[in-house]
Chain A
């Protein structure tokens, strides 16, 4: 088998990448793909007594002479009696082990990762990684005197102004370490605002929608709010009457995503925010789905008082196997006083931290948050500029429409619920409901099977599944037309397989880093085992021990 199996039904030159409407459609598929399957034993089973991976800096003889036996400095009852049962392995084997684990991981760097909708899996530029690794970034302590951190403060200040321009709001905090923490921060500010007005006790309801991220429900609930969750009508979003029915003098605020996870932009959003303001509530905009509307539409004009951006999504900072991230929070000027402390300010000459915020909600994350993420986001915007950001958004929307067109025209069993003739922006929520009815193959099966063609599992939907058998791709601006064509082809192929050979799909993946699992420990709490010591104690040990491999 050749390394490139090109099934070229459209004729033409033979090169992948020809466009629909052009001479040929790209039908490139990696049929010969197989993920690395190292069968790597757990590290606790590797090495042998006495091996060492790294030698820590030694104690100078001068210090030892001065203080004596270090262990004698600790009260005996606080000394460790038995050494921790950590592995003992030399450096080359530690490196090789984790290299192998990395090879069995499908980062965005190695696959067409456009299936994870709402996560905006875009390219994280390597130059930004290079910069973030500089000791001038990596080896800074957050309490250093201001005069020693003017560079990072200036970056934060400049990027803060950029975020204010992109949102139309006035003041910014980068302290939240994620989108959920950003939403939580905004919910906390809403609470502080009503408390300052003497309405803290009476305004105890927050309104959100089912297609907004779960954090828009969960984080106000943590603060003690009652949640009112609006469901969509046939358009895909709730209508103004539903919202008005939920509003009252108990309303503290609205927390909402737009476009929602369906990719649909609610065109009545300004009427929504007006209605919330009319009863005295605040409006907070979860802008994790910003990627399609930068420079096109802003939080301010849509009537929002607060918003947040996910810098680890829209602004290219890498997702890092689940963080660190940054949920940049922007607010109207009169809400600045409630932002988490301290804020980065400038007097025109120098940059400093303003901690004089007596009404602040306090802290949501230690120190100033993930400033290395802010630095990357700043570098990303500087590379693109205003025109470039607009180009990012337009391209994200064009890519999405293009993928949608191919999927809708070519893939059997796939539907687009709600307003099918309305243009989605950055993403779209499809349904495999028909495929499931006709073949028994559902979204989880498809998700597992696409891996056999070299792409990561996709995002179906948050729960509950309002759309049956959901599938939510988001082809951000980083994907080429050839990438999108290849992805569409994978989806088409798997759908066709579902009709022709459903077992092949139902038993997938076949070419992954790990074979099919007995997944019961993931769903039954009694079977969960989080550490090797417990696994061993239960006598379950590894069949994958080095001897067996």
Chain B
């Protein structure tokens, strides 16, 4: 290639204009691409062009191509979906999307307090509002997802208690369990606690049997992966504390306008998933986990992710916000790290801040009521169908519940196939990960489901199981 003899000009590459390229090459005293890459040994260089599909530099052609692929998807806007289990369809107010589409936020990165004062303020406001919702005093920025946040919290508990074992409920999401085991198995022993087959509540006898002086933390979720509310959470926290362990509680933040925050029943650390708060599901790409603790410097120092602190201007007249506790992050600790952070989910932090500002206490309360009422309505309709049991677990629930089809003689796969033919995406098949539940599925109902959808669901299930 000779100077200026580059490929076609591309709109994303200003200096691909041939004249500019030639002048710049001349300015740096380089005659050709070979000289440019002089320091890459020739035997490591690729001597042929990459084998990639033909380029679509025209924006319209590109847009049509990608749209034609995306059009092969059926979205949850096209077909009512009853999937949940760690990623849920909730309403995303347009203002949330508007704000996170702002180029200033969308394309910002590590700007410090003086470059990105606004971003840092939004971070702090997220922490502050989530702190109110959770009734917790210290909150960090969102991390990769709820599973990562929970792993982080349980490892924090190990360091804070100088113990090495954590107890987790057997009805944990299989996704979370797999992630936790890969991450934490060299640092902590993860032991399952059984749940009661009829209610779905944690089996307190098994918990008592497993609690010991090595237990660093007892982890429970409210609601659990199978949707049940842990009505004995206070008792569980008390048992944990009596053994010198911490109580870590995972929550669905969308429930907390209606449900009591875990602080009221003794949680020491709270984790959860931020995606319900104004973030589209994006095929699972909308996830972000959070960790909240008490306001205590020993605890704060153990949070390995990013924290924003409020501070004062040098002259005391105003406020600022910036990344605190940098020295405890893996960027600085390197091989001393016991956890790690990096690019996580800052945009979702901002979306959630907008969401909570819009919803306010009244919106969160009303939403919680709407969801539990709709979910209850759906469960009752399904339970009225011959052979169908909903909820299959006896404990109260919020937005998700197990539906048992075993007595219909149909498998969940058959039921879901029939629903799909009728334009409905059924619940998550539990028969592989929770064989004890028989032919059961986890159904999720939110404010997105109009009564008509629920009636249609029941009618379709009736037909399919008949």
Contacts and interface: CB of A to CB of B under 8 A. Distances in A.
19 contacts: A56-B363, A58-B370, A63-B374, A77-B265, A84-B256, A102-B105, A127-B59, A142-B284, A150-B73, A215-B340, A301-B45, A319-B107, A365-B145, A378-B66, A462-B332, A525-B301, A528-B297, A530-B140, A543-B312
B152 to A, nearest CB: 11
A50 B4 CA distance: 65
B344 A322 contact: yes
A321 B119 contact: yes
Given A150-B73, A518-B314, A361 B109 contact: no
A369 B309 contact: no
A177 to B, nearest CB: 5
Given A54-B358, A74-B396, A108 B99 contact: no
A53 to B, nearest CB: 3
A388 B283 contact: no
A145 B425 contact: yes
Contacts of A387: 7-8, 49, 55
A401 B145 contact: no
A251 B186 CA distance: 18
A323 B350 CA distance: 11
B15 A91 contact: no
B272 to A, nearest CB: 13
Contacts of A21: 23, 26-27
A401 B33 contact: no
A515 interface: yes
B83 to A, nearest CB: 4
Interface string A21-53: 110000000000000000110111001000111
Interface string B92-108: 01010111111111111
Given A144-B83, A165-B51, 5 more contacts: A137-B73, A456-B115, A478-B14, A479-B15, A517-B113
Contacts, number: 767
Interface in B273-327: 280-285, 287-288, 295, 297, 300-301, 306-320, 322-327
Nearest to B232: A77
Nearest to B79: A148
A362 B105 contact: no
B211 interface: no
A119 B12 contact: no
A174 to B, nearest CB: 10
A12 interface: no
* Residue of A312, A392, A509, A531 most packed against chain B (CB within 10 A): A531
A191 to B, nearest CB: 9
Interface in B39-87: 39-41, 43-46, 49-57, 59, 62-63, 65-67, 69-79, 81, 83, 85-87
A384 interface: yes
Nearest to B184: A222
Contact of B282 (A269, A371, A542): A371
Nearest to B97: A133
Interface in A90-137: 91, 94-95, 97-110, 113, 116, 119, 121-125, 127, 129-137
B5 to A, nearest CB: 11
Contact of A139 (B52, B89, B147, B261): B89
B348 A63 contact: no
A327 to B, nearest CB: 9
B145 A382 contact: no
A281 interface: no
Contact of A362 (B98, B182, B344): B182
Interface centre among A47, A106, A364 (most CB of B within 10 A): A106
Given A87-B360, A531-B127, A20 B354 contact: no
A381 B282 CA distance: 21
B422 interface: no
A371 B357 contact: no
B49 A365 contact: no
A323 B13 contact: no
Interface in A459-488: 459, 462-463, 477-481, 483
B451 interface: yes
Q: Which of B283, B344, B373 has the largest number of chain A CB atoms within 10 A?
A: B283
B413 to A, nearest CB: 10
Contacts of A391: 6-7, 10, 13, 16
A87 B320 contact: no
B438 to A, nearest CB: 19
Contacts of B78: 135
B463 interface: no
B406 interface: no
B369 A515 contact: no
Given A154-B72, A155-B69, A105 B322 contact: no
Contacts of B50: 165-166, 294-295, 386, 389-390
Interface residues of A, number: 222
A275 interface: no
Given A84-B132, A98-B122, A457-B115, A180 B52 contact: no
A385 interface: yes
Interface stretch (B160-168, B172-180, B192-200, B212-220): B172-180
A43 B7 CA distance: 51
A110 B109 CA distance: 13
Contact of B43 (A87, A270, A298): A270
Interface string B219-234: 0001000000101011
B338 interface: yes
A116 B75 CA distance: 37
B334 interface: yes
A290 B200 CA distance: 49
A297 B44 contact: yes
A542 B105 contact: no
A529 interface: yes
Given A143-B428, A543-B319, A151 B73 contact: yes
A489 interface: no
B51 A135 contact: no
A323 B338 CA distance: 22
Contacts of B39: 264-265, 267, 422-423, 425
Contacts of A221: 334-338
A533 interface: yes
B450 interface: yes
Contact of A369 (B23, B36, B136, B285): B285
Interface string A211-244: 0001101110111100101000000000000000
A154 B69 CA distance: 7
B250 interface: no
B283 A368 contact: yes
B364 interface: yes
A521 B323 CA distance: 9
B85 A143 contact: yes
Given A267-B40, A322-B344, A101 B257 contact: no
A325 B287 CA distance: 11
Interface string B1-29: 00000111010111110001101111110
Contact of B117 (A105, A133, A179, A269): A105
Contact of B128 (A44, A83, A179, A373): A44
Contacts of A431: none
A131 B76 contact: no
Contacts of B103: 107-110
B138 A107 contact: no
B81 A144 contact: yes
Contacts of A151: 69-73
Contacts of B23: 19, 21-22, 481
Contact of A19 (B27, B115, B309): B27
A418 interface: no
A362 B125 CA distance: 35
Contact of B231 (A77, A267, A457): A77
